[in-house]
Chains A and B, each alone.
Chain A
Amino acid sequence: MERVCSKVRHRLRDPVTGLLFVLPVLVLFLVFRIFPTLGVAGMSLTDWKISGEWSFVGGDNYARLFDDPNFLTSLQVTLVYSAIYVPLTVLVALGTALLLNSVIFMRGLFRGMLFLPYVTSFVFAGIIWRWIYEFDGLLNGLLARIDVGPVAFMEESALVLPALALVSVWKGFGYSMLILLAGLKAIPGSYLEAARVDGAGPFQRFRRITLPLLKPALFFVLIIETITAFQVFDTIYVMTGGGPARASYTLIYGIYEQGFRFFDFGYAATLGMVLFAVVLVISLIQRRLMDRGNT
């Protein structure tokens, strides 16, 4: 009887304690996540200035997007950058994961070395690689020994995006490598052994067994890396400042420039809405395909 009473009392007390425990996070979320999320939508409909003055301008900012050559450039640059970065990083991650999965000798050491750049910052990566790519930098110094170059990696419009993508691959592939490695480890060895006994070569085993079973992990990595690609900023700020001639002027760089160089907060918020829409669409595609994969 006493226990029942105390149980009932606890159930009654629970709502209060539950809410109290959630309260700090709830306040932080309402103020710093939900409010700015609603705010960015609202601000995109105004001509908000740094002074805090604003008036409602309706869809003017959105109409302006289509006449803004810088915005159209930033979309194109971001797409080209993603088209280089995503396949390259997934391929490097897959290759290294496959190697790590089939080598036992000093595997932990190699995994650590390959993963190491991931724990550093993009700013750090940018500073090191700025020197590597410089006209009198490390890479040109090495190329000079085989009588090539010097190549102006950061000053050629055609080279700057592949060069920047390579920096991000170096910094980031360790993450995807670990995800894919976990996926590979989850494939039962007996499947591969059975295929081997049946006379399947290594390439056939990869194509017919490893790859299909790795598909969910590959897909996850593909989506995550695409979202990462759309958010590139730090290395560009450090290495090129969006140049040469806006050849590396990405979406986020546009938000930063409109907001904190031109102080056009209303228009910068509109660019933020574009980024939000892009990431939302990618996430929804992921959700849709994941659901289909599960059923």
Chain B
Amino acid sequence: MTITASRPKPATRAAQIRGARARRRRRWPLVALLALLSLLTISPFIAMIIVALSPVGKPTVPAQWPESLTLDNISRVFSASGFIGWTFNSLVYSLVSVVIILLTASMAGYAFAKKRFPGRDTMLWTFLATMMVPFQATLIPTFVLVANLGGVDTFWGLIMPTLANSQAVFLMRQFIMGLPDELFEAAKVDGASELRVFWQIVLPLTRPILATLGVFVFLWHWNDFLWPLVASQSNATRTLTVGLTTLRTEEVQLSMLMASAAISVVPCLLVFFLLQRYLVNSIAMTGMK
């Protein structure tokens, strides 16, 4: 507690502290409620993990707790046909998209923030306006376009339509606009080429926002469903989300299904545990969804 000029009289101060303590004590029911809601929220995860680790055919939750736990289901999922392929395809879909979106969006963001060129503002506003067009509304023409270009069931056909991301461009522009002009001018006076300015000044300085954007783009793509559902038509490009929906409970045992679901969510959980701060802060600050 800092001592200021207008220090309260001892009596009122003591009363204040007593009040604050009483208020804190009254908060314990709130803590209990919060703990209950938090546990309720993660209980589906816990139930999933218990079933995924239960021996096949043995009773498990909700009927009773399993007597023993096993990793058999996990290894059987990996030896089942398709699963490793789907995981690989999801990784390609997500990681390639992250790299290309980060690169193209930061290039465009730099130009929109620091360059003057004809049609700049029209372009920017058109990009922004396309945010109001939901992807699902343009699903059919996008599919027809990709089909006509011969891109159905190919990686480029899967990835390319998802790369035009106005949120990413706009976010990069906003961030780069906040960087001081002098930095770029100084580099140019020193004779650095535009490419070098971009590579050695823009990219290093935007690292925090690139990390945030990378996390979001990864999650969007890893979790994406509707476009991969129509763009991939065989196991050659089928992603994990689409592959999982082909597992029907009639054919696959519940414990296998839960194990598959659990494995599919591991990258999301990794991202969550390692980069939660980035996610939480950027949602609070930019409203990115």
Contacts and interface: CB of A to CB of B under 8 A. Distances in A.
B117 A14 contact: yes
Interface string A155-187: 000000000000000100001001101100000
Q: Which of B31, B61, B254 is the most central at the interface, judged by chain A CB atoms within 10 Å of its CB? A: B31
B189 A279 contact: no
B5 interface: no
Contacts, number: 276
A265 B140 contact: yes
Interface residues of B, number: 90
B244 A123 contact: yes
B27 interface: yes
Contacts of A170: 41, 44
A131 B258 contact: yes
A36 B245 contact: no
Given A3-B189, A119-B268, A178-B280, A37 B115 contact: no
A127 interface: yes
B30 A99 contact: yes
A276 to B, nearest CB: 4
Tell me the dominant secondary structure on chain A's binding face: helix
A43 B144 contact: yes
Given A10-B188, A34-B126, A141-B62, A39 B144 contact: yes
Contacts of A269: 140-141
The B contact surface, by secondary structure, is helix
A128 interface: yes
Contact of A24 (B31, B108, B230): B108
A283 to B, nearest CB: 5
**Nearest 6 pairs between A and B by C-beta?**
A141-B62, A39-B141, A18-B115, A121-B223, A18-B117, A182-B284
Given A15-B115, A29-B126, A103-B27, 6 more contacts: A16-B117, A22-B117, A36-B138, A114-B41, A115-B272, A121-B224
Interface of B: 27, 30-31, 33-35, 37-39, 41-42, 44-45, 47-48, 51, 61-63, 103-105, 107-108, 110-112, 115-118, 120, 123, 126-127, 130, 132-134, 136-145, 148, 160-161, 163-164, 166, 169, 188-189, 194, 198, 219, 222-226, 229-230, 241, 244-245, 249, 254, 257-258, 261, 264-265, 268-269, 271-272, 276, 279-280, 283-285, 287, 289
